[in-house]
Amino acid sequence: MMTKTVFVAISLCVNIILYRFVTQIAIDAMAAIC
């Protein structure tokens, strides 16, 4: 039970980091195009 909770927490953190990373790249790309 504990392992599943830890796994979910880690997945959530990774998803948040990836999401922020991708949004940052998108913003940079838009700034470069404009």
Output the tens digit of pLDDT for each of the chain's 34 residues.
679 999 999 999 999 999 999 999 999 999 998 7
What pLDDT score was predicted for residue 2? 79
Burial of 23 (0-12, 13-18, 19+ CB in 10 A): exposed
Q: Which domain holds residue 15?
A: 1-34
pTM (2 decimals)?
Answer: 0.61
Report the domain count for the chain. 1
H-state helical runs in the chain: 2-33
What pLDDT score was predicted for residue 4? 94
What pLDDT score was predicted for residue 14? 98
